[in-house]
Copies of this chain bind each other. A is one copy, B any other.
Amino acid sequence: MRELTIEDIDDLAAGATLLGTGGGGDPYVGKLLVKQAIADHGPAELVEPDDLPEEGRVLTTAIIGAPTVILEKIPAGTEFRAGIGALAAYLGEDPVALMSIEVGGVNTLVPIATAVELGLPIIDADGMRRAFPQIEMTVFTLHGLMAAPLSIADDKGNMCVFEATTNQKAEALARAAVVELGMATSISCYPMTVGDVRRAGIGGSITYCTEVGRRLAQIKQGAEGAWQELLDYTDAALVFSGKVIDIDRRTIEGFARGTVVLEHLEDATRTMRVEIQNENLIAFEEGKAVVTVPDLLCLLDYESADPMTTESLAYGQRLNVLAMPCAPEWHRDGMLELVGPRAFGYDIDYVDFRGHR
């Protein structure tokens, strides 16, 4: 067990923005929620699954919706407690800890704020170690764990509990409810035991996220060799440096979709196209995919190294494009069917960006 204090939160949020690969909602709001919760109730208690009883119930909480809407609709906080309370009541069992379903984006931070408010520890693990736009896109699904029963709640008193025969059906039911409830609600899914988290979770992801954020801060401070340290720690590669020459974003069917085109800073004949569905999914150069899901595709401000969310992208920005391998826990049977390019409707194969360094 270790404590997460207010001093840790800026690094955690910066790391979450990078691992959010443009989506997962802007962590800024989550940062405010966590800092307020810690100021009110004291530090967050970060625990390992081994610190908890094997049969203990672990619940998750997150914001679900379109990042473009989440940015505009500040969470009340009550929707997270309402969703967890509803699911706990439905299960007839209170949680021993909370967990982030995705470490990447605002949903890294929301469960920490909620755990602090509820006086529960937060487990240092998650189901993605990045952000993905759909509920079924977790390593838990690869382990056969069910996303339902799950709850959806807003801050007005609307609430849904779903049972679903597949995680894809859970996604469809939850998404339909989210659209009806204004595109940004809480979700509590994948109710698990501590044993499930031990077996199936991506361990240490909150710590990893904080360490990533610490290295980003070092780059910002101009520390010698800081860029290389980030690349080494994450095993990442800088695949492109360019200027935004075209950008297209739209919110359809509950998702923020879009395309960004970059022109290379040193060679104007080279362009890179980044495809977005809430998160940055695939980078193409000359029509050829060079980075694909489930690996991480991160856009950072060329000067400040600030990770860019989809909503903050603008014409003329100069960006570095970073490719980062997904967590090793993803490499299991069924990974590409679940989170490879075809799972997002692209008729292309997964490419290992490290072949392009």
Least Cβ–Cβ distance between A100 and chain B, in angstroms: 25
Contact of A173 among B156, B158, B164 (CB under 8 A): B158
Provide the bound-state CA to CA distance between A160 and B176, in Å. 12
Provide the bound-state CA to CA distance between A172 and B180, in Å. 6
Determine the chain B residues whose CB is within 8 A of the CB of A157 once the complex forms.
163, 165
8 A Cβ contacts from A50-66 to B = none
Determine the chain B residues whose CB is within 8 A of the CB of A164 once the complex forms.
158
CB pair B177 A173 closer than 8 Å: yes
8 A Cβ contacts from A154-194 to B = 156-165, 169, 172-173, 176-177, 179-181
Given contacts A173-B181, A180-B172, A181-B173, contact A161 B161 (CB under 8 A): yes
Provide the bound-state CA to CA distance between A176 and B181, in Å. 11
Contact of A160 among B158, B165, B173 (CB under 8 A): B173
- Give the dominant DSSP class at A's interface: mixed
Q: How many A residues have CB within 8 A of the partner chain?
A: 20
Provide the bound-state CA to CA distance between A90 and B159, in Å. 13
Give this chain's copy count. Answer: 2
Provide the bound-state CA to CA distance between A180 and B162, in Å. 12
Least Cβ–Cβ distance between A270 and chain B, in angstroms: 43
Determine the chain B residues whose CB is within 8 A of the CB of A172 once the complex forms.
180
Provide the bound-state CA to CA distance between A52 and B156, in Å. 35
Provide the bound-state CA to CA distance between A86 and B177, in Å. 18
Provide the bound-state CA to CA distance between A176 and B158, in Å. 14
Least Cβ–Cβ distance between A56 and chain B, in angstroms: 23
Closest residue of B by beta carbon distance from A181: B173
Provide the bound-state CA to CA distance between A254 and B165, in Å. 22
Determine the chain B residues whose CB is within 8 A of the CB of A181 once the complex forms.
173
CB pair A165 B156 closer than 8 Å: yes
Determine the chain B residues whose CB is within 8 A of the CB of A90 once the complex forms.
90, 161
CB pair A161 B158 closer than 8 Å: no
Closest residue of B by beta carbon distance from A173: B180
Least Cβ–Cβ distance between A244 and chain B, in angstroms: 36
List 17 A–B pairs whose Cβ atoms lie within 8 Å, in order of A's numbering.
Answer: A90-B90, A156-B165, A157-B165, A158-B163, A158-B164, A158-B173, A159-B162, A159-B163, A160-B162, A160-B163, A160-B173, A161-B161, A169-B180, A173-B177, A173-B180, A176-B176, A176-B180
Contacts A157-B163, A172-B180 aside, 17 further interface pairs with beta carbons under 8 A come to A86-B163, A90-B90, A157-B165, A158-B163, A158-B169, A158-B173, A159-B162, A160-B160, A160-B161, A160-B162, A160-B163, A161-B161, A162-B177, A169-B180, A176-B176, A176-B177, A176-B180
